[in-house]
Amino acid sequence: MKSKTKYQTWIRIYKLIIFLVISLVLLLIALLPINTYVRILSGIIALPFIYITFILSYSIYQFAANGGNYQSKIHDLIVSKVNWDGNGKILDIGTGSGSLIIKLAKAFPKSTLTGIDYWGGNWEYSKAQCQQNAEIEGVANQIDFQKASASELPFNDDEFDLIVSCLTIHEVKDRSNKTDVMKEALRVLKPGGKFVFLDLFMDEKIFGDENELLNELQKHSVSVLNSSTIDNEMKLPKLLLHKKVLGNAMIFSGKK
């Protein structure tokens, strides 16, 4: 019997479990035959935890293949943004469990691809999982998976023809300035090469002012730069556009 691919969603299950447990404990305290003030206070404190638990649960369902499948649909959107002849080298920054890079391998069978990820212990992805998914999908011979940080890519300048990244740049912990992470990606992109980055670029706490970010990238050898909010590119359930999910998401695409 053929094995099935396993693609994790962007929402980590352990986060959901933490908020669920806290919610249940606070609700339990609110129901105990104890001081009324403590019970009321516990119930009030429980409300935001219940709300976050609901948002996380709903997001996992909508992103999952057996739910709304929106994670796969977003990866399809990124692939559709790639206007390229398919001959050359592709880099996927933040490969996760391999969904996006495998879609690219199928879309561009003449390409060679490299997927990098930190695959840290607090993530529910792994390099082995990526390799297994690629083998099941029949594209393992096209893809090389490497453990690396997006802040220090182990590649030469001007090495790749196409670079993509989906919801990874904001997660890079060893660079406080996320623009530096984007510049590092552009460093390994060939002159004339193309890129598609999807991230929470409208979140000023992470990326600063959007216009300043765009100007900074244009100064850094980017000859063409397009930007669009994700809700202008595809129809999404309203709750997925919550600021804590994809409400700040934008796509930057262009050419070096």
Q: What is the CATH number of the domain that holds 171?
A: 3.40.50.150
Indicate whether 31 belongs to any domain.
yes
Q: Are 166 and 230 in contact (CB under 8 A)?
A: no
When divided into structural domains, the chain yields a total of 2
User: Does 174 lie in the same domain as 124?
Assistant: yes
Per-residue pLDDT tens digits of the chain, which is 256 residues long: 568 899 999 998 999 999 999 999 999 999 999 999 999 999 999 999 999 999 999 999 999 999 999 999 999 999 999 989 999 999 999 999 999 999 999 999 999 999 999 997 777 889 999 999 999 999 999 999 999 999 999 999 999 999 999 999 999 988 999 999 999 999 999 999 999 999 999 999 999 998 888 888 888 778 889 999 999 999 999 999 999 899 999 999 999 9
For residue 208, how many other CB atoms are within 10 A of its CB? Answer: 15
Q: Are residues 47 and 132 in the same domain?
A: no
251 Cβ contact partners less than 8 Å away, ≥ 6 residues apart: 77, 78, 81, 196, 197, 198, 226, 227, 228, 229, 230, 233
Domain of residue 250: give its range: 70-255
Same domain, 163 and 127: yes
Do the domain assignments include residue 146? yes
The residues that bridge with 91 in the sheet, in sequence order, are: 114, 163
Does residue 7 sit within a domain? no
> What is the DSSP pairing of strand 89-93 with strand 160-166?
parallel
Residue 216, Cβ density class (10 Å: 0-12 exposed, 13-18 middle, ≥19 buried):
middle
Hey, what amino acid is at 105? Answer: A
Q: What is the pTM of this model?
A: 0.92
Identify whether the C-beta of residue 204 lies closer than 8 Å to the C-beta of residue 179. no
Whole-number Cα distances in Å, 103 to 218, 233, 234: 29, 19, 18
Q: How far from 208 is each of 57, 83, 203, CA to CA, in Å?
A: 29, 29, 7
Side-chain-facing half-sphere of 134: CA atoms under 13 Å: 25
Could you tell me if 123 and 246 lie in one domain? yes
Is residue 220 in a domain? yes
How far does Cα 157 stand from its chain's mean position? Answer: 24
Closest to 64 measured CA to CA, from 232, 247, 240: 240
For residues 242 and 168, state if they share a domain: yes
Q: Is residue 91 domain-shared with residue 178, that is, in the same domain? A: yes
pLDDT score recorded for residue 220 = 76
